[in-house]
Amino acid sequence: MECVTQRMRHSAAVVLLMCGVGLLAGCGNDVGNGTSASTTTAGAPPTTVVVTSIVTVPVTTAAPATRPQASVAPATPTAPPPTAATTSGTLDWDGVRYDFGRITGLSSNENQDLITFDRYQLYGDGGELLSAANFTEEPIVVGNSDVPWVNDNPKERTYVLDPEAEVLSLANPGRIACGGNDQTESPEWQSGTVEDLFRIGTPDSDQVSLMFSKEGKVVLVRISQGC
């Protein structure tokens, strides 16, 4: 009888043990198939385990933004001012329209006739000194008995003579009104050429006026005289 009782106790223990295993197996299946499972320990709050799916997102590297490049046209060489370009081809001409002074020399190179000129300053009506840059019309000094000029600058300039330049010379110096004499004739001018000027030579006169073309060449030479 005692043996039968022990066997029954042993069988009950086996059944309980198998039930425990079955419960654990069932719990394992719930965790694998569901999204969450709870386990409870006596006296402790329930612990929840959350199972989430991990999705791998490919990393895309954006190309760096490029700033549009402005097209730059090649620099165009700046043309020199007309006066500078003209002056470089006409020796010492400085852009004036008229000049006044004395011719100090005549010369020629292989393709140009040249004059060397000493620039003077003239007294204006108000006693001020006027130079080539101040002349708005040809400065003609004729029939004077005084010296209406100043030569403070000994610098000489070389100008290019236009081949067609006109050369004017005072034709009646002894018959014009001069210094209070009794002559009444008006000045008369004899026209000549550049060839005539070179043939006669450097004129002995401190009263020479010049006129220039827009290209900077001498187109008029006027040789005047006083008393």
Name residues of the chain where pLDDT drops below 70. 1-89
Model pLDDT, residue 110: 83
Bridge partners (DSSP) of residue 221 are 167, 210
User: Rounded to 10 degrees, what is the CA torsion of 197, 200, 203, 204?
Assistant: -170
pTM: 0.61
Which sequence spans correspond to the domains of the chain?
89-223
> Residue 89 has what pLDDT?
63
Which position has the token pair 């760096």? 64
Q: Which residues of 91-130 are buried (b: 16+ CB within 10 A; e: fewer)?
A: ebbebbebbbbbbeebeeeeeebbbbbbbbbbeeeeeeeb
